[in-house]
Structure 1
Amino acid sequence: MPHQGTPVGRVHALYRYPVKSTSGQPLVTAAVTSSGLEHDRRWAVYTHDGGIASGKRTRRFRPVPGLLDWTSECDGPDGVPLLRSPAGVPYRVDDPAASEALTAGLGQELTLREGTTLQHHDESPLHLVTTSSLAALADLLGGAIDERRFRPNIVLDTGSAPLFLDRNWAGVELAIGDDVVVTVDAGMPRCTMIDQPQAGTAAGPRALKALSVHNGVEFGVQARADRSGVVSVGDLVTLRGTAS
C-alpha cells in the first residue's frame, strides 16, 4: 500500500537535467525509473581527454567553467533534449552544431554524448532535498537559499522548521504518491558546484564551508527507486521504517 507509514510531507518541486551539469528543467510531473527521473542526465558534455564535464575534478569529471550558464530541456516526442546557450539559442544535442557551439562558447574542445552503460550521475540515480534542511542551512548562512543550487531531483516540503531532517533517513523507504517507492542510501556529499552561479541562480553565500562545519559536508540524500511510476508536485510522501 503506497501510503502506509508516517507522513513526512509532500513533493514541493521536481527537476531534471537532460544534459549533465547544465541548469535544470523544472517539472510538474515526472516518470521515475531505476535510472532516476526519465531523461535525467541522459546526455553529458565530454572533454578532449574523455572526462565528463562538471564543476569539479575527479577521475571521471573535469571542471568546465561556464557550463552551468547553459540550460537543457527535454519536451519533444522523440526524447532528444534541447541545449540552450546563455543567449537562449537552442540546439538539438544530436546535432554537431551543439558541440561546436559549446566548444566555441567555452573555449575548449567539447563533445555531447548520450549515456550507455556509463552512468552520468555522480553518486546515485536520485537526489532528494527537504525544505527543513534548506531552512537549517538558511539559518546558518543568515538568509534564504535557492534550492536549485543543490541540483536536486525531488524537493520535499517537510515544513519550515530548521532541521537537517533527512540526515537520519539512511536505509528507510519513502513512498511518493500512488506508485513510487524509493530507498534512501546515504547523505549526498557536496562539492564546490553548490557555490557556483548557474543560469537563473546566483551563487549567494558560501554554503560548502557551512556544511563542512555543521553537517559533514553533506546536504540532501542519495536515493534509488525500488518501484517505478509517476510522481507529481503535491504528492504525499510517507516514510517506512525507522530513521536512525
Structure 2
Amino acid sequence: MTDVVGMIERIWRYPIKSTGGELLQQVGVDTRGLLGDRLFAVRDAEGKFGSGKNTRRFRRMPGLLHLHSRYANGMDQPELLDPRGVAVPDPTAYLRGYLGRDDVEVAREGTVSHFDQLPLSVLTTATLDWVRSAVPGVPVDERRFRPNLLVRTPPGTPPFVEDRWFGSKAWIGDALCVEFLRSSERCVMTNEAQQDLPRSPLVLRAIADAHEARLDALAIIMIPGPLQVGDAVVLL
C-alpha cells in the first residue's frame, strides 16, 4: 500500500555548512545525500566546524548565516557570497577578516562528516505553517530550519505529520528511495538572524513547548537517484 503525502516544493543545498544555501530545481542524490551538500565547512585550528553552537564537534561562529554559498562551476570548490550577495575572490581570506580569526579555513569534508546527524532533512508546509501561527509577528520560512526538502502537503494535513513517517520508506520521484528515521533536535540556530529574518527567541521556544524542540524528518538514502521540484513523495 502506498500513500502520496506531498510534493517537492523547494530543494535547498548548503555547499558550505552553516552558511545560507542555494535553491535548486533539480539535483542528484547519492548515499551521502544531495550531491555537494555541506561538502565544505569553515574549520578552525582545533578541527571544529563553524556553526551556531558550541559542542564537541562545532564552534560557534556568529555571522555565517548572513553569508551564502553556491556551486558556480562544478563542485570542486564552492563560491562564498558576502552579505550583499557578491561572490568573494578568496573564501578563506574573506572569512578570516569577516570573523576576525586567522585560524579558520574553508575545508572539504575528510574522514569526519560535516552533517550534524543524517544526510537528508525534510520539512512539510503543514509544520512550517504551524510555526508561523505559533509566533505571530515573527517572520518565518524554511530557511530558519535549513531543510534539504520542503514538501507541500495537502490541505488539512496536521502539523508534525513528519512524525508519522518514521520507520517508513518513501519514493521521491521515479528513482530515489529514502527511509525516514527520526527528527532533528533544534538548537538556538533557529532563532538566529539571517538576511531578512530577524533574531527571535520565540521560534525555538514555541517548538520546545509544543514538540520537545523537534522538527522535520531525517532520512537515509536507500536507493540513490535524481530529484526535482514537483516530484511526488510516496510513502510505502
* TM over 0.5, shorter chain: yes
Matched, 1:6 2:3: yes
- Which residue of structure 1 lines up, in the alignment, with residue 131 of structure 2? 137
Question: Could you list the runs of 5+ residues in structure 2 that have no partner in the other structure?
Answer: none
* 21-30 or 76-85, larger mean C-alpha shift: 76-85
What percentage of residue pairs aligned between the two structures are identical?
Answer: 34
* 61-70 or 75-84, larger mean C-alpha shift: 75-84
The structural deviation recorded for 1:160 is 4.6
Root mean square deviation, CA, Å: 1.7
Partner SS state of residue 59, structure 2: strand
- Which residue of structure 2 lines up, in the alignment, with residue 51 of structure 1? 48
Partner SS state of residue 53, structure 2: coil
Moved over 6 A (4+): none
Partner SS state of residue 55, structure 2: coil
TM-score, length of structure 2 as denominator length: 0.93
Query: Of residues 228, 232, 235 in structure 1, which corresponds to 2:228?
Result: 232
Tell me which amino acid in the other structure corresponds to 2:153.
T
TM-score, length of structure 1 as denominator length: 0.90
Q: 1:68 to 1:231 in 2, by over 3 A?
A: same
Write the distance in 2 (CA, Å) between the matches of 1:181 and 1:158. 19
Q: 1:60 to 1:133 in 2, by over 3 A?
A: same
- Which residue of structure 2 lines up, in the alignment, with residue 29 of structure 1? 26
Write the distance in 2 (CA, Å) between the matches of 1:160 and 1:104. 47
Write the distance in 2 (CA, Å) between the matches of 1:57 and 1:71. 21
The structural deviation recorded for 1:164 is 1.3
* 79-88 or 24-33, larger mean C-alpha shift: 79-88
Count how many residue pairs are aligned between Structure 1 and Structure 2.
233
Write the distance in 1 (CA, Å) between the matches of 2:214 and 2:226. 28
Question: Could you list the runs of 5+ residues in structure 1 that have no partner in the other structure?
Answer: none
CA contact (8 A) 1:71 1:199 kept: no
Deviation digits for residues 25-44 of structure 1 (CA, Å, limit 9, x no counterpart): 00000111111100100000
Write the distance in 1 (CA, Å) between the matches of 2:4 and 2:128. 19
Write the distance in 2 (CA, Å) between the matches of 1:168 and 1:209. 23
Write the distance in 1 (CA, Å) between the matches of 2:132 and 2:74. 39
- Which residue of structure 2 lines up, in the alignment, with residue 116 of structure 1? 110
Write the distance in 2 (CA, Å) between the matches of 1:16 and 1:28. 11
Write the distance in 2 (CA, Å) between the matches of 1:115 and 1:33. 15
- Which residue of structure 1 lines up, in the alignment, with residue 95 of structure 2? 102
Partner SS state of residue 238, structure 1: strand
Query: Of residues 134, 140, 143 in structure 2, which corresponds to 1:148?
Result: 143
The structural deviation recorded for 1:89 is 3.6
CA contact (8 A) 2:140 2:197 kept: no
Matched, 1:158 2:148: no
Matched, 1:64 2:72: no
Write the distance in 2 (CA, Å) between the matches of 1:208 and 1:42. 27
Write the distance in 2 (CA, Å) between the matches of 1:157 and 1:75. 28
